[in-house]
Amino acid sequence: MSLTQHKPTPAETAFREAYEALDASGGRAQSWAAFAEQGLPHKRVEEWKWSDVRQTLRQPRSQSGAVESDISPAQAFGTAGAAEIVFANGRLIGEPELPEGAVLHRQDEANPPGERESYPLAALAGALTLETGAYVLEINGEVSRPIRLRLISEGEGAHHLRLSVVVRENASATILESHEGEGAPYANTLVELDLQRNARLKRYIIHQGSADVVNTTTTLGHVAERAGYHQAILTFGGALTRFDARLTCEGDETDIRLDGAYLLDGQRHADLTSVVDHRGEGSVTQQVVKGVVDDRGRGAFQGRFDVARGAQKTDAQMQHHALLLSERAQSNAKPELMIFADDVQCAHGNTVGALDENALFYMRSRGIDAASARALLIEAFISEAFAHIPDDVQEEFIARSREWLEKK
């Protein structure tokens, strides 16, 4: 819905004011026009029916100020000995020391209008990012040391970040990304990925913060021939959380994993949405998403695999399974396969249910108390989503999940 067609909400008006205060160069104007055309997404838009951003962002928000306090040492991925890039409220902190083969620079010149204009929050990030243009993390070689990317949010304002990651031909890297939030800010991030021939990017994301944080993170990626992108997300939700990934596999034999888990209690919300568009031949895409929802938490999973007419021999498997631990917990799922090729293997599986009482009794009959039995079963359930990630990251994901379970 266009801002010209509906009366802008106070939040949309505040975004306009923020835009007008910025220097309208570097593609900002196009991005703003695209956002203004669409407005904040809301529940009457099919793709956003379980994540009503307009409703959640009722109050106007000005651009977040800089984070005043000292940046605390990394909690997530703390032991990985990684290089570190820190953004706090959308601002780059310090000069990152990156391993050889990796550089971070700013691209001031206007990017050609791209697909970000098609997604309202991606367009919003392009329009309101503090720095004109985008930060670009460029990977030119086989970078073995992981790069820790911390996105810290505080206060009650809104901040937008536009980051591109370009992985050149035959290059590879691992990004350990943490979304850390305190207070009640709105953090809107756009990550544009360009994975060139035979490039490999692994990206592991932990999102854990206060219950009032609104976080929307959109990933728009292009994957060339024989390139690989492996992503796994562990989110504990917030007032509204949406991790949205749109990948276009242009080349043949791409290799994609999009795993994740959402663990929600209180009134927290998390939405994992993804679309993978297969255009080349012989690509493999796998996805395992698990959800555990307690209290009045709300989880959502939307997954779509598109297979174009010529994308023969595509092998794409999608799994989403959610456990509801209370009567008022919710998990909504929409798995979709859109297949236009005839020689493919594509499948999806989706379940939402309660813990298996028979399994619980079985464990208790062996001497394990009810709470421990429940925790063991839930941990086993979640772990399936982490089965394909490197050991140290897996350990951290499981440890954090266990911590969450132990609080119950």
* Interface residues toward another protein, by CB under 8 A: 356-359, 361-370, 372, 376-377, 379-381, 383-384
| Min dist. Cβ of residue 202 to another protein (A) | 23
State the pairing for strand pair 200-209/315-324.
unpaired
Smaller CB separation from another protein, 332 or 383: 383
Nearer to another protein (CB atom), residue 168 or residue 364: 364
Nearer to another protein, 136 or 359 (CB): 359
| Choice between 137 and 385, CB closer to another protein | 385
CB contact at 8 A, 133 and 107: yes
Q: How far is the CB of 349 from another protein (least distance, A)?
A: 14
CA 238, CA 326: separation in Å to the nearest integer? 18
In this complex, which beta carbon is closest to another protein, that of residue 295 or of residue 384? 384
Query: Residue 140 or residue 372: which is nearer to another protein going by CB?
Result: 372
DSSP 51-80: --HHHHT-S--PBP----SPPPPP-TTTTS
CA 229 to CA 233: how far, in whole Å?
A: 13
Residues in the chain: 408
The pair of structure tokens assigned to 399 is 């440890």
- What is the helix (H) or strand (E) element at residue 374, kind and residue range? helix 370-383
User: Where are the extended beta strands (E) located within 265-344?
Assistant: 269-278, 284-293, 298-307, 315-324, 330-339
Burial of 111 from C-beta contacts in 10 A (0-12 / 13-18 / 19+): middle
Do the bridges between strand 134-139 and strand 102-107 make them parallel or antiparallel, or are there none, so unpaired? antiparallel
Nearer to another protein (CB atom), residue 80 or residue 393: 393
The radius of gyration of the chain's CA atoms, rounded to the nearest angstrom, is 21
C-beta of 378: minimal distance to another protein in Å? 10
Closest contact distance (angstroms) between CB of 406 and another protein is: 15
Q: Rank residues 103 and 380 by Cβ distance to another protein and give the closer one.
A: 380
The distance of closest approach from Cβ of residue 360 to another protein in the complex, given in angstroms and rounded to an integer, is: 9
Sequence-separated (6 or more) residues with CB below 8 Å from residue 159 = 63, 64, 89, 90, 91, 130, 153, 185, 186, 187, 188
Q: How far is the CB of 232 from another protein (least distance, A)?
A: 16
Please provide the DSSP assignment of 233-263 as one string: EEE--BSEEEEEEEEEE-SSS-EEEEEEEEE
CB of 320 vs another protein, minimal distance in Å: 16
Between 191 and 322, name the residue whose CB sits nearer to another protein: 322
- Let me know the angle formed at the C-alpha of 111 by 121 and 285, rounded to the nearest 5 degrees: 60
CB of 384 to another protein, least distance (A): 6
Question: In angstroms, rounded to a whole number, what is the distance separating the alpha carbons of residues 51 and 45?
Answer: 10
Q: Which is nearer to another protein, 250 or 384 (CB)?
A: 384
d(CA 175, CA 205): 8
β-sheet bridge partners, residue 259? 232
Cβ at position 143, least distance to another protein in Å? 33
Query: Cβ 371 to another protein, closest distance in Å?
Result: 10
